[in-house]
Each structure stands twice: as C-alpha cells, then as structure tokens.
Amino acid sequence: MTTQDERQNKLIRPSHYITMDDIIREGNPTLRGVAERVALPLSNEDILLGEKMIQFLRNSQDPVMAEKLELRAGVGLAAPQLDISKRIIALLVPSEPKFDEEGNEVPSKEDYALNTVMYNARIISHSVEEAAIATGEGCLSVDREVPGYVVRHARVTIEYYDKNSEKKKIRLKGFHSMVPQHEIDHTDGIMFYDRIDPENPWKMREGMQIID
Ligand code: NB4
Ligand code: NI
C-alpha cells in the first residue's frame, strides 16, 4: 500500500523526472474522482509538484529529452493523472512560431504563450459560444485515438492561485482556453471523450468555433 503523500514525495525528489510510467491510464478510478482543493498558503510539496509537472511538459516538447525519456508530447498535465487527487494543473503552450520578411522562422527557444501552474483553478465565467480543436483531442492517460469534436467553451475566465499562493484571474480564448478546460476537467473526473457527441462525433454545432 502506498499513500498519496508517499507517491507525491517520490515524484518531487530532486533526482526524479516524471515519465509516462508515472501517468495513470483510463480504467484507474482516480481519473474519475473529483480532486481535492489544495491548502493555502501552498505547501512546499505542492509547489514542487507543480514545478515537476512543468518540467515534464518542457521535456515532452524537447525532441532530445522526449526521445530519451520516451515521452508523448503534452501542453498540459493535471495532478490526478499522476494519481494525486489534488486540484493542481500545469499548462505549457509554446508561442506561435514567428517569421521574418523572407519567411524564415525566427528561432525563439523558450517562448511560451502559457507557462503556468494553477492551483484550485475554476471557471468563473464563460462564453455562450462553443469551440473545438479541429483535429479533436488526445490525452496522455488514454492510449487510443478517440476521434471527434470535443465541445468546449470558446472563452473562459479562470480564477486560480499561482505558485506564490496569490489569487489570479485570467481570460483565455481559442486554443489557449482549450488546454485549461481539458485539465480542469481532469480535476473533476471528466475525460475529453465525455464531450464528444457519441451519435455523430464530427457533427458541426450551430455557431461552434473550429480551432486549427
Ligand atoms: C492535453 C491537451 C489536449 C487538447 C493540442 C495538442 C498535445 C496534450 C493533452 C487540449 C489539451 C495532455 C493532459 C500536443 C500538442 C502542440 C504544440 C509544441 C512542440 C509538441 C507539441 C504538440 F502535444 N495536444 N498533446 N496532448 N493531457 N497539441 N502539441 N507542440 O497535451 O492529457 O491532461 O512540442
Ligand atoms: Ni488529459
């Protein structure tokens, strides 16, 4: 028997890199539970876990590290995916690549549109308009493809606590709003395919924005 605290203490050891072996897969009941809010001000353990989650995402997007550690690429991660039933999510979304006058890509190595750990994140308001990623979604806890539009809010306002235990509010739209919605769902036991129409997965809904 291992307790959640024991699992968290292993994950946050300085020498540990989070890999796919740390990520639980569908069928594990933790993914269907509602995660607990974290205590504030944040404990060192919860701050360190957030840092490890961001490190995982950075490694997963680095071709060399991803191959070495056999990681699938990710732009978000939620603590329940590590079998830690806490409301902690990490978001790491690279900025759009920039191009000069000749159309060459300007290398911008560490440039992120979103690079945040959110504690106790909640959607405090959202648009009536819906949106979905054109290609559908994948999940690091799901080892199969589930095709279809994952219907989400087009715009959200999220309230959360940052790594300094400070309360923040952020408005997000487009792709940037899809990532935290996928992660907040994990803290509520919701999987992306719960939001796909089972009858007609690629059915276009009235006014739904398609993000590509
Ligand atoms: C979370 C996302 C699924 C849809 C859209 C996308 C990828 C995930 C899951 C919304 C949130 C992880 C967490 C990607 C990816 C684009 C940016 C930068 C360079 C490769 C990377 C690939 F990896 N989803 N994977 N899935 N999840 N875009 N990109 N690229 O991130 O299960 O709960 O490195
Ligand atoms: Ni996921």
Q: How do residues 140-157 score in pLDDT, each as one tens digit?
A: 999 999 999 999 999 999
Q: How many CB atoms lie within 10 A of CB 128?
A: 8
Q: What are the two backbone dihedrals, phi and then psi, of residue 101, each rounded to the nearest 5 degrees?
A: -60, -35
Q: Specify the pLDDT at position 102.
A: 80
Q: What is the pLDDT of residue 107?
A: 61
80 lines ligand 1 (CB under 6 A): no
- Confidence band for 67, pLDDT divided at 50, 70 and 90: very high
Examine the residue annotation and report whether 67 is marked as an active-site residue of this protein: no
What average pLDDT score do residues 96-115 get?
78
pLDDT reported for residue 99: 75
Q: Is 183 in the pocket of ligand 1 (CB under 6 A)?
A: yes
Q: Choose, from 6, 110, 183, 199, the residue flagged as catalytic.
A: 183
Measured between alpha carbons, how far is 93 from 101 in angstroms, rounded to an integer?
25
As a whole number, mean pLDDT of residues 194-212 equals 97
Q: Does ligand 1 lie within 6 Å of residue 77's CB atom?
A: yes
Give the number of whichever ligand sits closest to the CA of residue 179. Answer: 1
**Which numbered ligand comes closest to the C-alpha of 194?**
2
* Residue 172, ligand 1, Cβ within 6 A: no
Dist. CA 73 → ligand 1 center (Å)? 6
Pocket probe mutation, ligand 1, options 20, 60, 75, max atoms within 8 Å of Cβ: 75
Cβ of 186 less than 6 Å from ligand 1: yes
Which ligand sits closest to the CA of 63?
Answer: 1
Check pocket membership of 138 for ligand 1, CB cut-off 6 A. yes
Q: What is the per-residue pLDDT for 130?
A: 98
pLDDT surpasses 70 at 192: yes
The string of DSSP letters for 42-104 reads PPHHHHHHHHHHHHHHHHHTSHHHHHHHTPPP-SEEEGGGGT--BSEEEEEEEPPPEE-TTS-
Residue 158 has pLDDT above 70, yes or no: yes
| CB neighbours of residue 149 within 10 Å | 24
Residues with CB under 5 A from ligand 2 (ion): 139
In angstroms, what is the span from residue 185 Cα to ligand 1's centroid? 15
In this prediction, residue 108 has a pLDDT band, given cuts at 50, 70 and 90, of: low
The DSSP code sequence of the chain is ---HHHHHHHHTSTT----GGGS--TT-GGGGSPPBPPPSSPPHHHHHHHHHHHHHHHHHTSHHHHHHHTPPP-SEEEGGGGT--BSEEEEEEEPPPEE-TTS-EE--TT-EEEEEEEEEEEEEEE-SSEEEETT----TT--S---S---EESEEEEEEE-TTS-EEEEEEETHHHHHHHHHHHHHTT--GGGGS-SS-TTPPPTTPEEE-
